[in-house]
A and B are shown apart, each in its own frame.
Chain A
Amino acid sequence: MKRHIPNFITLLNLFCGCIATVFAVMNQLEFAAIFVFMGICFDFFDGLAARLLDVRSELGVQLDSLADMVTSGLVPGVVMFQLLNLASKGGWNLDLFGMHTEVQLLPLFGFIITLASAYRLANFNVDENQVSSFLGLPTPANALLILSLPLILFYQNTTVLHEVILNQWVLLGITLISAYLLNANIPLFALKFSNWSFKDNAVKYLFLLASLVLLITLRFLAVPIIILLYIVMSLLDKKSMA
């Protein structure tokens, strides 16, 4: 029975991803974000449960990737699609099978995030080296980055932020950067502690402190900055280790 507990938690992650997809398709991006964040938490707890109960399994690893694909791969793609849809104006008039329809091609570029996530997750499953550090941005962190955009629009909307976030070129740029970061050969530290000593984990503690301060002061606007900080600190950490 206990061997099924982590997989059940993983399925809860997937279920959250399914609900988030529905909300994202309905353009209820705020609710989509909430369910993605819940999914990310379940994603954290399934691995923890597997280790605590000592029931790690190959099935669990595969299931985890499949759940991540929906929660942290598909949903950010749909959200970016919706944001690009809001940002782009006009479309192509097409006659498909006798039906007249207006098609906007630009929003489809949002799914580059989904494709890049799939590639990353598949690549991850065959790479035995990514244990104490990541190569490229993990899909949940990337999902957090993309899902923070609609939350900034909902909760911290100013004319400047509105103009910046709903600029199609900015969104396209974020999409391409996101796709690149997911699969980039950049070593990034994992927030994992083998001991609690400050000396051994200085970079992680500093990052957590900076993140907390940024979140308190900037709220959701802090997320893109934190991700940038994460990459910069990882690169510096690598340099200092070298």
Chain B
Amino acid sequence: MKLYVHSILASFSVLCASLCGCPEDDYVPPVTYEVQQNQLVFVDGDRFNYAVGDTLWLNVQVPQRVIDEITGQSYDIFEITGATEARISLKLEKESSFTKPFLVNFSQEDLVLEAGVFQIPEFETTQLALDVNYQDDAYRLRIGFLLKEAGVYQLSGFYGNDWQFGFYDTDFGKLPQEYVFVTTTVRGAANGALRFTVVE
């Protein structure tokens, strides 16, 4: 009889526990800050015309404290998120007279890194993942592209023309999580994409 009562109570408790929905209470959506600060990406000398054999140096400098150009609000990325890096994925397109621009495969030999990190995914060589690294109050990247073929090229975000860097909270124990998304442009470029010409 005692065992029977215990088994009923145990089953009842488990039933209640299974329907109480406690994990859901724990969810707190992250707070995201969208910041638009232009011209944080630039090429050396703001040059967009090169000859074969030249190197195009791409620089990114996202200051630790960014100011949203729309609202005027400032955000200290490092203070908010503690992030020491942020990633962006790029694609390089070459214009063709016959068809629409085609994607160029990246090769490690054609890239020179001076600051930050780059990675070419093994099975997606048309994508170049770049990490800006925190250094001296800014998130920095400096990478050189060795130009080997003539043509008109366009470098832009892999998933759209936007140059957007996502800085994510590093303290996973903190609630709510805070994310800062910085959208920027290339200095001197007409639209979101960095368009440049390489001649023989």
* Residues of chain A lying within 8 A (CB to CB) of residue B17: 40-41, 43-44, 140
When chains A and B are docked, how far (Å) is the Cα of A72 from the Cα of B10?
18
Asked if residues B23 and A64 are in contact (CB atoms below 8 Å), the reply is yes
The answer to the question of A226 belonging to the interface, with a C-beta cut-off of 8 Å to chain B, is yes
* Residues of chain A lying within 8 A (CB to CB) of residue B24: 124, 130-131, 134, 190
Which of A61, A65, A190 sits near B21, CB closer than 8 Å? A190
Q: In B41-91, which residues have CB < 8 Å from any A CB?
A: none
Asked if residues B8 and A219 are in contact (CB atoms below 8 Å), the reply is yes
- The closest CB in chain A to the CB of B169 belongs to A58
Determine, out of B26-34, B97-105, B190-198, the stretch whose residues face the partner at the interface.
B26-34
Which of A57, A65, A141 sits near B18, CB closer than 8 Å? A141
When chains A and B are docked, how far (Å) is the Cα of A134 from the Cα of B25?
12
The answer to the question of A171 belonging to the interface, with a C-beta cut-off of 8 Å to chain B, is no
Asked if residues A190 and B19 are in contact (CB atoms below 8 Å), the reply is yes
Asked if residues A58 and B175 are in contact (CB atoms below 8 Å), the reply is yes
What distance in Å separates the Cβ of A44 from its nearest Cβ neighbour in chain B?
A: 4
The answer to the question of A118 belonging to the interface, with a C-beta cut-off of 8 Å to chain B, is no
Asked if residues B15 and A223 are in contact (CB atoms below 8 Å), the reply is yes
What distance in Å separates the Cβ of A67 from its nearest Cβ neighbour in chain B?
A: 9
Q: In A188-242, which residues have CB < 8 Å from any B CB?
A: 190-192, 208, 211-212, 215-216, 219-220, 222-223, 226, 230
SS class, residues of chain A in contact with chain B = helix
What distance in Å separates the Cβ of A31 from its nearest Cβ neighbour in chain B?
A: 15
Asked if residues A56 and B22 are in contact (CB atoms below 8 Å), the reply is no
Interface size class of B (residues with CB under 8 A): 20 to 34
The answer to the question of A187 belonging to the interface, with a C-beta cut-off of 8 Å to chain B, is no
Which of B16, B22, B23, B177 sits near A58, CB closer than 8 Å? B177
Q: In A38-86, which residues have CB < 8 Å from any B CB?
A: 40-41, 43-44, 46-48, 50-51, 55-61, 64-65, 68
What distance in Å separates the Cβ of B67 from its nearest Cβ neighbour in chain A?
A: 28
What distance in Å separates the Cβ of A58 from its nearest Cβ neighbour in chain B?
A: 5
In this complex, the member of A125, A131, A141 whose beta carbon has the largest number of chain B beta carbons within 10 angstroms is A141
* Residues of chain A lying within 8 A (CB to CB) of residue B2: none
- Given A59-B172, A59-B173, A211–B15 Cβ distance below 8 Å? yes
What distance in Å separates the Cβ of B148 from its nearest Cβ neighbour in chain A?
A: 43
* Residues of chain B lying within 8 A (CB to CB) of residue A57: 26, 172-175
The answer to the question of B96 belonging to the interface, with a C-beta cut-off of 8 Å to chain A, is no
In this complex, the member of B12, B20, B174, B175 whose beta carbon has the largest number of chain A beta carbons within 10 angstroms is B20
Asked if residues B21 and A134 are in contact (CB atoms below 8 Å), the reply is yes
The answer to the question of A144 belonging to the interface, with a C-beta cut-off of 8 Å to chain B, is yes
Q: In A11-46, which residues have CB < 8 Å from any B CB?
A: 37, 40-41, 43-44, 46
When chains A and B are docked, how far (Å) is the Cα of A226 from the Cα of B172?
38
Asked if residues B18 and A40 are in contact (CB atoms below 8 Å), the reply is yes
- The closest CB in chain B to the CB of A220 belongs to B11
The answer to the question of A162 belonging to the interface, with a C-beta cut-off of 8 Å to chain B, is no
What distance in Å separates the Cβ of B61 from its nearest Cβ neighbour in chain A?
A: 30
What distance in Å separates the Cβ of B171 from its nearest Cβ neighbour in chain A?
A: 9
A-B contact pairs, 22 of them (CB 8 A): A3-B173, A47-B25, A50-B26, A56-B26, A57-B26, A57-B172, A57-B173, A57-B175, A58-B28, A58-B175, A60-B26, A61-B27, A130-B24, A131-B25, A140-B19, A141-B18, A143-B18, A144-B14, A144-B15, A190-B24, A192-B20, A219-B8
7 closest Cβ contacts across the A-B interface?
A47-B22, A190-B21, A44-B17, A140-B18, A59-B172, A191-B19, A141-B18
Interface residues of A (CB under 8 A from B): 3, 37, 40-41, 43-44, 46-48, 50-51, 55-61, 64-65, 68, 124-125, 128, 130-132, 134, 138, 140-141, 143-144, 190-192, 208, 211-212, 215-216, 219-220, 222-223, 226, 230
Contacts A58-B174, A144-B15 supplied; 16 other A-B pairs, CB < 8 Å: A37-B10, A37-B11, A44-B17, A44-B20, A47-B25, A55-B173, A57-B174, A60-B26, A61-B26, A130-B21, A130-B24, A131-B24, A134-B21, A192-B20, A215-B8, A219-B8
Interface residues of B (CB under 8 A from A): 7-8, 10-30, 169, 172-175, 177
